[in-house]
Structure 1
C-alpha cells in the first residue's frame, strides 16, 4: 500500500480568498490549449481562425466552466440542486462534469464558427487535439483534493484516502490522468496533421471523432475501478453514470467517424462549413 501524500488543496490564502491546486490546474490547462492551438494555426496556416481566435477562445473557456457545472447538476445531483438552486453557482464547493463541458463545447463551437464563417470541423480538430492536457491536469487536481477515488482494492499501490474510509482504494484519478491525459494527448497530437495532408488525408472532423471514441473508451474502462458517485450509484443495476454517458460519447464519435470518412478525397476543409 502506498501512502496518500495529503497535499493541502489550498496553495495559499489572501484573506478570504483561497488559491487552490484544482483551480490552478484549470488555468494551466487553458494556457496549454491557448498556446498549442496558436501553434497549429501557424503551422497549418489556418488564416480564417486567426483573427477570431481570442473571441472564440473566451467563449470556449466559458463553455467549459458553465457546461461542466450544468452537466454535473443535471447528470449527477439534480434533486439536490432543485431543492438548493443557489448552490448551482457555488462552483468552489466542487462538482463538474466533463461530459457536460464536452457537449457545451461542441454546441458553442458550432455556433461561434458559423457566426465567424470558420470551418467548424477544422477548428474542432485543432482544439480537441489539446484537450487531454487539461483533462490530465484536472485529474491531478482531483487527486490532490482526495476526491473521485477508486473502489477498494488489495493492489500494492492502493491508497487510503482521507474521505474514503479505512480501506485502501485504487488511485483512479492517476489512472485517468495518465490515460485520458498523457496517452490520449500523444495519440491525438500524433494524428493531428493527417486531416491537413495533401495525399491520403483524413477528412477534417476525424480528430474530433477520435477524441470522442478515445475518451469515452478510456472513461468506461476506468469506471470499472472508480467508486460510483454515492448519490447516483449504479444505473440499471450495472453501470455508472460515467459509463452510460461515455457509451453515448463513443457511439457519437463512431457515427461521426463514419460520416466524415465519406468526405475522404473531397478536401472537406476547403472553405464554407463542410
Structure 2
C-alpha cells in the first residue's frame, strides 16, 4: 500500500513559503474580541447549507416542510458542535482528555472530527424525524446534499490556519509550512476542499436535480458517504498523519480507517435504494 509519494525536499527557495501568502487565522481583531476564520467557516457552512436546504425542500415531494427545515438547522448545529468535538476526543485523543476532562469543552482551541459531526447530525435528524413523524432516511438524503458547503469552507479555513498540512512532496505547488518543518509539503487541505467540497457537491447536485435519486430513499446520502469516504481515503495518502497516532495497521491512518464503515454503509444504501422507492410517497411540503 502506498504510504509516501516523494522524498523530503529541503527549503531551497524553489517552493512557496506559507507565511509569504499573507494569511492569518484571525479574520477580525478588535483587541478585546477576535473572530477566527475557523469559526466563520462553521457559520458560513451552516447558513449556506440552510439556504440550499430550503431550495431542495421547495421541490415537489419533499420529506419535510419549511418549518421542519428551520428546526433541523438548530438540532443539526448542536449535532455538529457536540458530535464533532466528542468525536475528536474519542477517536484521536481519548487518553489526553481523560487526564484533563475540563479541556473537552475548549472547542475554541480547535479539534473537531468530521466523522463525529456526521454522527451528531444523524442523531439530530433521527430526533427531529421521530418528533414530527417524518421519514428520517429521506431527510438524510436532503441534508447530505448541503454538507459539501461546510466541508469546503472548513478545509479552506484549515489552509488559512496553516494546519493539517500534507506529506513532503516535490510537486510545483508544494508549500513550506513553518509550523511543521522546513520541508515542502502537499497543500492537502486544498485537495480536500476540491474533492469533498466542489466535486462531491457537483455529483449530488446532478443526482438531485437531473435524476430521480431523491425519490429513492438512501441513494443521495449513500452517494455522499461513498463520495466523501473515497475522497478522504485518497487524500490521506497526501496528508500528514496525526503526530500522536502515526500510521495504524495496514499502513492506514485513523482518517482512512474511519472512512471504511462510511464507504461500506454508503454502498449498501445505494444498492438497496430502489427497493425503498415505493415508500417515498409524496408528502405535503407547505406550512
Q: Same fold (TM over 0.5)?
A: yes
**Alignment match of 1:12 (pick from 18, 28, 31):** 28
The answer for the alignment partner of 1:178 in structure 2 is 194
TM-score, normalised with respect to structure 1: 0.92
Q: Counterparts of 1:177-216 in structure 2 under 5 Å?
A: 177-193=193-209, 197=212, 203-216=216-229
Q: Matches of 1:166 and 1:74 in 2, distance apart?
A: 31
Residue 78 of structure 1, CA deviation: 0.6
| Cα drift, residue 201 of structure 1 | 7.4
The answer as to 2:158 corresponding to 1:142 is: yes
What secondary structure sits across from 1:12 in the alignment? strand
**More displaced 10-residue stretch of structure 1: 90-99 or 35-44:** 35-44
Q: State how many pairs are aligned.
A: 268
Residue matched to 1:56: 72
Deviation at 1:47, TM superposition (A): 7.0
Report the CA distance shift for 1:201/1:25 in structure 2 as closer, same or farther (over 3 A). Answer: closer
Cα 1:150–1:201 change in 2 (3 A) is closer
Tell me, in whole angstroms, the C-alpha distance in 1 between the residues paired with 2:215 and 2:71. Answer: 28
1:37: how far off? 0.5
Q: Does 1:89 align with 2:112?
A: no
Residue pair 1:122, 1:205 contacting (<8 A) in 2 also: yes
How far did residue 45 of structure 1 move? 5.2
Higher RCO (CA < 8 A, seq sep 6+): 2
Is 1:73 equivalent to 2:85 in the alignment? Answer: no
Shift of 1:202: 5.2
* Counterpart check, 1:268 vs 2:280: yes
Do 1:158 and 1:170's aligned partners in 2 also have CA atoms closer than 8 Å?
A: yes
Q: What is the Cα deviation at residue 268 of structure 1?
A: 2.6
Inter-partner Cα distance in structure 2 for 1:110 and 1:164: 41
- Unaligned segments of structure 1, at least 5 residues: none
**TM-score, L = length of structure 2:** 0.88
Whole-angstrom distance in 1 between the partners of 2:195 and 2:22: 23
How far 1:33 moved relative to its partner? 0.6
Q: CA deviation at 1:6?
A: 4.0
Please name the residue that 1:31 is paired with. Answer: 47
Unaligned 5+ segments in structure 2 are 1-14
Is the 2:152–2:194 contact (alpha carbons within 8 Å) kept by the matching residues of 1? Answer: yes
Corresponding position: 1:130 with 2:146: yes
Computed over aligned residues only, the root mean square deviation of the Cα atoms, in angstroms, reads 1.9
Partner of 1:161: 177
Checking the alignment, whether the CA contact within 8 Å between 2:214 and 2:220 is kept in structure 1 is no
Partner of 2:234: 221
Of residues 249, 253, 257 in structure 1, which corresponds to 2:262?
Answer: 249
CA distance 1:2–1:179, shift in 2 (3 Å): same
